[in-house]
């Protein structure tokens, strides 16, 4: 995980990219307080049961990844493990 600061709202999170499409984001603070964009969404009356996300933060992360400043960690990708699969097949 690497610290990333949203370039729009300044919200600080930890992010890790596993592949082009798979990014883990760990919020360090309550998302609804940290990010004005998410605060607007929650203020609109619906409680976010979804994982909070900020389009600006995603842009920031994508930018960092493109410039090679956010390392893509393919080894930690939750890949299928053949040994655990075969253990399920046992009686
Ligand atoms: Zn934001």
Contact by Cβ (8 Å): 73, 2: no
Residues within 5 A (CB) of ion ligand 1: 6, 9, 11, 35, 54, 56-57
> Ligand 1 mean position to 69 CA, how many Å?
19
In a 13 Å sphere around the CA of 44, the CA atoms on its Cβ side amount to 8
* Distance in Å, CA 64 to ligand 1 centroid: 15
- Of residues 33 and 62, the one with the higher pLDDT is 62
* pLDDT tier, 83 (very low <50, low <70, confident <90, very high otherwise): very low
Q: Answer yes or no: is pLDDT of 51 > 60.
A: no
Instruction: Label residue 13 exposed, middle or buried (CB < 10 Å: 0-12, 13-18, 19+).
Output: buried
Ordered by start, the domain boundaries in the chain are 2-89
| Token pair recorded at residue 39 | 């605060």
Q: Give the E-state strand segments of the chain in sequence order.
A: 2-5, 12-17, 23-27
- As a whole-number percent, the residues of the chain with pLDDT over 70 amount to 66
Mean pLDDT value across residues 7-35: 84
SS3 at position 72: strand
């Amino acid at each position: 995980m690497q610290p990333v600061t949203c370039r729009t709202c300044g919200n600080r999170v930890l992010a890790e990219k596993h592949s082009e499409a798979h990014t883990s984001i760990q919020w360090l603070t309550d998302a609804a307080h940290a990010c004005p964009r998410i605060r607007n969404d929650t203020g609109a009356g619906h409680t976010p049961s979804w994982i909070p996300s900020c389009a600006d933060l995603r842009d920031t992360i994508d930018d960092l990844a493109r410039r090679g400043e956010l390392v893509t960690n393919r080894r930690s990708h939750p890949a299928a493990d053949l040994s655990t699969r075969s253990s399920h097949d046992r009686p």
